[in-house]
Structure 1
Amino acid sequence: MTGSSIIVNNRVALAGTAPHAAVGATRLLYIANRPGAVKLKSEDDLRVERENALMAQLGYIGFRPGSVAERNTGHALFDANGIPERIKVQRELLATSSAVITSVISVRNEDAERLGLLTKQQWERAVRAAWPRYVESLGVIAPEDIRYVCAMHVSQTSRHVHILTWDQSGAFNRLLPKEKMVAANEELTRQILKPLREPVNMLRTEARDALVDAVKEAVLKDAALKERVAAALPATGSLKYGVLARRHPGARDEVDAVVAHIVSENRDARVLQSQWRESVMRHAELKGLKGAALEAHVSAAESDLRTRLGNAAFAAARQGPATERLTKREAQAESEPLLSPEMRRRERALLEEASSLLGEKESDSIFDALRSGKWSQRHTALIERLPSAKALLRVSPSVPRALRGLSSIIARAAMGPASSRERQDLSEQAGRQSMRMLCLLARVVIFGFLKHRAASTHPTPKHVDAQTVRKASSLRKGTS
């Protein structure tokens, strides 16, 4: 799957037409409140709210962009500054003489995490960073007059964001130039994926350097390999791989053969080579390279690696006897922390899906099943309506058993040695805590999946309940 898995579609509603009138009258309400719209506030949204509250206390609320207090909470809209007041946006759209560009940027659910577009916060940051530049590149609205509002949606098949863009000056009122739009779409994809390329480059560099060290160490420790490399080197001249490739191709071929032998016989080296190759291809994917450009990218990376590995073999052949390393790499942790960054993102994505795709009664039903210990296939079917959870359930058949185990754990913790008053308090909090329980549920689904992936075994409830027991026990005191 290439970077083109980000799809951008644009339409223009010209001023004075029926579609233009519909944008402010119904389209805005549709994207703000339709089923699947993610209304949960991201961490960025909450941070801006706190800043706005402070600014209000200091008397600066009317001067700071985006600092207007939100009087109609519950919609999914966001813009360049935070969460706007919906009614003001609607009035602005109804009054503008500018054409309105209605856009949709979408990715398939199975690609969302890989592309860094899983949660609302990731979408907000991507759009705010890339969209103004995108509109400017179309050449239809001056940068200082670009105005836009967005809403992120989750469906059974995709994650997407609707964007309404218009000209605050009212000067824009024509169709988009097709040639510029095609180029702008490609650049938008590159801009959105740019933050993902840096960690991929880091992984590629780490794998490459570790592979170079492995080849050098293998030559140092194996006298026969060391002698084979030394015998291939010319008596005079530079011993750099690039020079040998030009002037002594036979020597280069021999060194390449030694390196290939080391990699084929060394399991760690094979793993590193595989990691390096995957990183190279992933980087090319994130740049949207295809055809000849992709071939040139891969060829240049392979040439660089051969040069580094050859120079490592030369350096080892010129050194004295190999010495024992003073330290050894520590063994990797047996399992990932329960709340690793990856799992936090997955958890947040599941919670956003639950809040957007499950009704209040369905969420409460899941909560009641967990609280009472009466988890059934019907509740598993509700969870399967969430795209991320459905994918994890498909990969790890042990998860339904873990869910049943979790329900009995929470039931014991919530309905155990608590006073009647505490049980009553718990019942009153059911509606408020149903979403929080879905968070716990998400963690169990995720942890069961990761253990299954790591150990290729089916985890039982006792493997997943350590932190959940502590969480569930605290429910009796009214905490999540």
Structure 2
Amino acid sequence: MALAGYYAERPGSTALFDQDGAVPLREARARLADADGALSTWVISVRREEADELRLGCKDEWQRWCRRELTPALATAMGVPESSVRWVAAEHENAVNSKHVHVLAWDSDGSLSSVMPKHQLERARAMMTDAALAPAMKVALDERDIARSAAVEAARSIPAEEVRVELPPTGRISYAHLRRWHPGAAAQLMEKLVRAGEARPEVAEAVARYRAAVERCAELKGLEGTARARYVRDAMADLDARRANAALRTIAPDRTEAPTETQGRTAAPTDGPATRRLAERRMRAEVAACVPRRELDD
């Protein structure tokens, strides 16, 4: 009861609301008094400087988000059907560094009466985190794709003389093929691409924009330490391969990779030991089907 009052009446609070609209404090306390089982309390918070980007910058946006996302996440955390989830919440505006909502949740059937399993809490947390960060993640992914396309186009515009390397005289041309079978040529190509990028601001800028967008994606995914470093490394390696392939199309435009041909099945042999053994097995099976077992034993 005290928490409900704190949520509703703290300075800077937007008052209580639930799935259907505003909830007076007296009504919220009556609901809590009638609730069986356990109650769970939640605080959902975002950094103040990111609230507008996440579309959680005002009361109406928070309430829309809570009404869309809270019920399925709370059902997962509490291990109850969504139809049994009940909650009231209030947004607090007066925190210096964050914007957040406080949530009181319970199960209308009273079946929630024990500690929530950790794996259910983690799933619920991930659901709410992904939902809250979805707008910012879309922006970051769009920026990553735009920067990647710009970096590849910049690599394609580099004159062939600046990135020319000694290529194998025959066979397909792709960066993956060079790395596997001609690593010296692949390394030389990447070195020339780096030099060309250093000499051309537009190339360096596109690569820097791509890396910044990848770093932002890693941050939004909550990656840290080794996992974050691996995510960024893999993304930059993917960009290097795309840029290298664009440069190779400039160096050798007439040696694009040929489509893979589907290998057809060869015809079965008409003679030979295997063919004769197969014919004998078929013959024995036909005889066994026609002759009584006693005669076969004789």
Please tell me the TM-score bracket, short chain as reference.
0.7 to 0.9
| 3-state SS of 2:40 partner | strand
Report the CA distance between 1:316 and its aligned residue: 1.6
On the 8 A contact 1:194/1:286 being kept in 2, the answer is no
Residue in 2 aligned with 1:31? 7
For 1:133 and 1:287, locate their aligned partners in 2 and report how far apart those are by CA, in whole Å.
Answer: 21
Q: What is the aligned partner in structure 2 of residue 98 from structure 1?
A: 37
Relative distance call for 1:122 and 1:277 in structure 2 (3 A) is farther
* Structure 1 residue 171 corresponds to structure 2 residue 105: no
Q: TM-score, normalised by structure 2?
A: 0.76
Q: Which residue of 2 aligns with 1:200?
A: 140
Shift of 1:234: 1.6
Q: 2:290 — aligned with what?
A: none
User: For residues 108 and 202 of structure 1, do their structure 2 counterparts lie closer, same or farther at Cα, with a shift above 3 Å needed?
Assistant: closer
The CA deviation at 1:199 is 1.9
Residue identity (%)? 32
Match of 1:137 among 76, 81, 99: 76
- The equivalent of 1:151 in structure 2 is 90
Structure 2 CA distance for aligned equivalents of residues 131 and 204 of structure 1: 30
1:309-328 equivalence runs, <5 A: 309-319=243-253
**d(CA) in 2 for partners of 1:97 and 1:135?**
17
Measure the CA separation in 2 of the matches of 1:121 and 1:270: 42
- Classify 1:121/1:260 alpha carbon distance in 2 versus 1 (closer, same or farther; 3 Å): farther
- What runs of 5+ residues in structure 1 fail to find an aligned partner? 1-21, 39-75, 321-480
Which of 211, 217, 222 lines up with 2:151 in the alignment?
Answer: 211
Instruction: Give the alignment's TM-score, normalised by structure 1.
Output: 0.49
> Which structure has more helix as a fraction of its residues?
1
> Partner of 2:169 in structure 1?
235
Shift of the 236–258 alpha-carbon distance from structure 1 to 2, 3 Å rule, reads same
The Cα shift of 1:143 comes to 1.9
> Residue 198 of structure 2: SS of its match in structure 1?
helix
Q: CA deviation at 1:267?
A: 1.2
Secondary structure of the structure 2 residue equivalent to 1:314: helix
Matched residue count: 253
Aligned residue runs from structure 1 range 121-136, under 5 A:
121-136=60-75
1:178/1:113 Cα in 2 relative to 1: closer, same or farther (>3 Å)? same
Q: Does 1:287 align with 2:221?
A: yes
* Gap change, CA 1:249 and 1:144, over 3 Å in 2: same
CA distance in 2, matches of 1:139, 1:162: 17
**Match runs of 1:350-429 below 5 Å:** none
Tell me if 1:257 matches 2:197. no
Greater than 4 Å deviation, 4+ residue runs? 113-116
Supply the AA of the counterpart residue of 1:79.
Answer: D
- Residue 77 (structure 1) aligns with: 16
Q: Give the AA of the match of 1:235.
A: P
2:114 aligns to what SS in structure 1? coil
The one-letter code of the counterpart of 1:190 is D
2:207 paired residue number: 273
CA distance in 2, matches of 1:237, 1:105: 57
Task: Name stretches of at least 5 consecutive residues in structure 2 with no aligned partner.
Answer: 255-298
What letter is aligned with 1:35? P
Counterpart selection for 2:27 from 72, 88, 93:
88
Deviation at 1:163, TM superposition (A): 0.5
The CA deviation string for residues 354-385 of structure 1, in whole angstroms up to 9 with x for no partner, is: xxxxxxxxxxxxxxxxxxxxxxxxxxxxxxxx
Larger radius of gyration: 2
SS in 1 for 2:157: helix
Q: Which has the higher contact order (CA 8 A, sep 6+)?
A: 2
Rounded to whole Å, the distance in 1 between the matches of 2:104 and 2:182 is 63
Taking the aligned partners of 2:116 and 2:185, their CA distance within structure 1 comes to 59
What residue is the counterpart of 1:109 in the other structure? 48
Match in the other structure for 1:224: 161
